[in-house]
Chain A
């Protein structure tokens, strides 16, 4: 039974010994390990670790970037039945001390001197830590080596032991065979937004079962290849790269360093790729800027063919019926623009790409899809061992996170919270019965804390954190973040704050994006002296009214959201700022605080006034305070009622 990762490793070494298992760029050259070589190395590493005293059930901290030694540590520990605990390499010492102390690690395998220093600083708080292994020796020569070892040295030691003593070899193989699917295979600590992080216990059998399902879902084989650049301690890396590689036998390439990921992406040309929306956004911005610097001919060619791709590309990707002329034009565009562009981005060979984590703008999403990149959304959690839903190939619906993945059972409570049962579902939180009981229902479903709904085709839409979803006075659902996100997808709108809790209708305040709108104003000869002046121009109100109307159209198309259309809006006279307490340091709007601070404006939004006066205290960058007074205009927005477009009174 192939129910542990170590057994899977040995199976690959038997079935596809000469296929590449892992690559790493070092000193400018890509080095490759085949499955046979990797299995041999990890067997030796396991022997070396056992010699150091690592035992079944003990925990091992793994702290570093995506390097072969880090993945090998996870595998070698699992081989022995020990439990790897990957930790974010950029965690501050205090956070690291908590995780290492909570997990009671006796062993830590770290990347370099920086991490060794961090461990030295917190060693009093991690009393059980007795052995530290490092990957890169640089800077560590003068350290006390009584408890410090090089990973390469331990692997060598293991090799020698295996070669010289048949008893050791037999014991190592027996340890691997003793492992079974019920073993805890890893503890992943989730970065809790509130309170201390929780250790999510995952079992080998469930992890492998979950990975088998998605490997089949996306038809991954040993011909596929990924570039591993996501944080090692994040479920995304452990699932998408580690677990899927060991199930399907594809090759994991480790970048040369964190700064070279883009270049390495181009060199490897992965076939499976994951990135959060902001990466896709940054790439598109860079492409756009470069194209603006290009010559007139190239620019026109680019604009023409991107327009063509926007019109037909997604249809072609989804296999819909497309006129022959469009197909020919797209083919030419591929030759001249799309293929070279994808090559520069390192996306030439991508078969499956995913994004997740935050909402992705429909424009951004369809830009990549129109180039022929099979970009999809997934929704998942550490507790689920990743997948809860995903878009199947050819069934993409922008704005949703897709259908339930195979063998995942989703239920939505009356309050709108999403619950699931999944094949990879966690065993519990480490040493935290109480929070486990809070999260798992008696029927065995896991609470996500997210509110969502299914559309008629079974696509799930995630609205917001369940506790943030409110109600209008009529009882209709009011999800402020959902509405705000839709507004913020427009480049002209920088921030949005929606109000409506216990009110008759929804209103909102907007911040325009000074760069985007300012650029537009310059091109249209609209003079302005300041943000305040530009924000109050009737032309700018007209633009925003158009955006709000479009959002309302989108909301009206969703039965649950139709009542939450924006009736009235205003453009704030100043930009929301963390220094004034209007936003958090992570750039999230503080709705309650804003409602209080701008009470006259909120009142005016609801009492039908056409303008309101406001004066607010602001803090300048040097700490001085001043007062901004302004008269802010308020406008009604076009809403959709019973299928007709009309202007609300």
Chain B
């Protein structure tokens, strides 16, 4: 597969006077390439990493709303004793799908949205290494997510919990098709993650701008790189597990059948060898975002950049050796438990490094509390709480009191919501002007932020109490008999948590209101460099042109953009920074030296078609094997179509047939 060439080599001279004749290399010959740059086709068949990034974001936010509604229903049910909002069956489906949706269909794709959009921009590239595979990844994710959620209308969602422990996941205990939809849907989104991972790894390794050594890589891109390696190794494990589950349920395999001599703990090991790295897959992109934002609004470089990079990598490595801390009560035996307990404590060290380095980045800075900065400080505070409660259950004996109680629910929501989700919101406010050319409203943003923070603490804070008071998770009702009547009684704090969830929902709603308000007619265009930013993605227009950079930037510093704007005029160890150029001047300089010919590959029908063959096959596994064959034929045709089409559309696919220098040039 070809890598997009840097323009310095192999520039093909396109003669503007070339007559528009069909090029014989159009080997598939049947369809015209969808080269439109506006309209629905420009989105459906795009292979532009920015458009795909935006679509990842839109779809992720849609699933965020779906998962949020599921969460509100759960909290409504638990607001009082013996709740009747949901039946036991619906409740079990709801918490399973809430977790599945939030993990696989919101946080992961939202991080993928930012990674897609900003990794090429941050490394000074014009797209990712494999643009069509990138498009395929997005469509596979979307179709996988939709497929998963169609289970609601086809007999009910999965009801075994997102961890789907065997043997409760087998047909005898979960007879509806929910678990089949779950297992197949996640295989499809897994394919999306895996292709995305390979794509981004190759992109970061091969396509950095001249001068950008790995230790000058923006920290967000670094964290994304670590995450892609985690995905590369974690997704195959869960895929194997899901494959076994599929065979167990659909084809009478006995991987998890106790009566056939299987050990149900096999599933737990497979699930958590994936599941624990997954936690870092969720949270590291946000760590990267926060590590970008804090320096910008502190007007200082990230404190201890190499250490933050290495601690991120260390978390990535050690994250593979702690999975059994999800199984301290599973009966592993004391030696395993002790070993995993100590390994889990060890991972607190690199995590602590990040918190300290973020705080020291602010130390001695010049802090501006814009909305992205508020969210970033929010991440430090909320994630610290989640991290510290995490230390309390790295202590295995203590964990046997806490695991599967609401204390754990509190812990991981402080980590996932406080760490990952707040970080994603920080990213949205920070990069919104870059992506859409408009600023999100700061005043509404502040209300959005504070309601979210108050809401999340009201929701998840009380769960610490409820959990330590002994309320297990995943119970569709709780009873006053076990609630107690002291200050810490379970009833009161459950009610507070339920009220908090609606405050939180209101906070999130304001984000959508903010988008609407900020994009009404007549709102001003965002300035070129609204935050006085530091990294490469800002050395271009808002939003960036299709080809990202007129000239691929030469990189001499970690915070390249900052150093183009400011100069140190101090001497003898004394520093004095003065602005030497505005952002407009820096960008104008690039535009004036634009590369003569820019190579961009053309849109394609095949990625979306190939992705569409996946859910067809999945429905086939559940309902009718002939559908599998039909889907496979579509997939095979798409494979060949993809393989045979040239990277760039022949010129007569354009209307009018064109050969302008900016758009066209074959590359191989």
Whether A and B are associated in the same complex: the answer reads no
